[in-house]
Structure 1
Amino acid sequence: MDLNLHPRKETARYREIRDLLQGNTIVVCMGNRLTLAGFGMSMPIWSRVIAAVTTADEALEVVREHRPDLFFATEDLEQGYGIDLV
């Protein structure tokens, strides 16, 4: 695997994703904090994430408050289950 954390130029795929997410907001709910941090900091997603939480109750609260365009969740959360949020 070629891991390049600091790309020197934008790739066509990066530009495509950036353009698709333009103007959209994202809420992320994941039970594993390392996975949550990695996902939330992914380029170009990070600039669109408005909340990142680890429990079902937190997810419901921020979704009701912010009304995001996209919501990502894992099945196992610190408390609750991601499938219950769908």
Structure 2
Amino acid sequence: MLALAFLTFVAASTTLARPAAPDYPARSSEPIDLAVPEIRHLLAAAFNQPPQSTARLLHWSNWRRRHQTTARRSDYRRRLADASSA
């Protein structure tokens, strides 16, 4: 429980202030915020053998979160198209 609380605190402290516009995530090209599973994965990869360089690990995390942003944006577009056709 303590580990989950720590990961939740880290995730909350790294979240950037976002505009209150409801369609902001659909327009954003920034990677999604760090979430508890992503932080847990980064910590596990940092302490497991063989050790990876910090730069490579952060590059991979950034790529993954950008990919998730693209998937989220596509999902929002599909939902908007479905809502407007109904």
Q: Output the TM-score relative to the length of structure 2.
A: 0.25
Q: Output the TM-score relative to the length of structure 1.
A: 0.25
Larger Rg: 2
Question: Is the strand fraction higher in 1 or 2?
Answer: 1
